[in-house]
Amino acid sequence: MLKNSFENVNILGKSLDASWLKHKAISNNIANINTPGYKREYVNFDNVLKNEIDKNAFDLTVTDDKHFDINNNISDPVIKREMNYSFRRDENNVNIDIESAELAKNTIKYQALVKQMNSQLKRLRMAIENGGKA
């Protein structure tokens, strides 16, 4: 149980990092809405995390030091640029409506992740403080 809690904290931590980075990318996109040639930034961590969870959907137990820890294989979130298209004459591809909706969605997601992290840490603290008591 304690091992699963630490793994959950690890995944939640990476998700929080990704959400924070996504907020930074969206804010940068909004700030550059009128910059000619600017290409929007995005963070595609949700798909990376989903693929890792799907790939490791089995309940695996590490029984030897030489076994891999599956949760350490989740790559860190990174900001990428969307270079494929531009619907404006100035070659800027930022759409303020999409960015505003993404910002609102990401804010809600970040708040939910913070609540989950707080809950998980509360459970860990309780397990540590009451671990040996009946």
> Could you tell me how many residues make up the chain?
134
Domain boundaries of the chain, sorted by first residue: 2-130
Residue 68: per-residue pLDDT: 47
Residue 2: per-residue pLDDT: 54
d(CA 67, CA 80): 32
Are the beta carbons of 43 and 79 closer than 8 angstroms?
Answer: yes
Residues of the chain with pLDDT under 70: 1-5, 52-73, 132-134
**Which pTM value belongs to this model?**
0.75
Encoded tokens for 31: 């700030």
Residue 71: per-residue pLDDT: 47
Q: Three-class SS string for the chain?
A: CHHHHHHHHHHHHHHHHHHHHHHHHHHHHHHCCCCCCCCCEEECHHHHHHHHHHHCCCCCCCCCCCCCCHHHHCCCCCEEECCCCCCCCCCCCCCHHHHHHHHHHHHHHHHHHHHHHHHHHHHHHHHHHHCCCC
Residue 108: per-residue pLDDT: 97
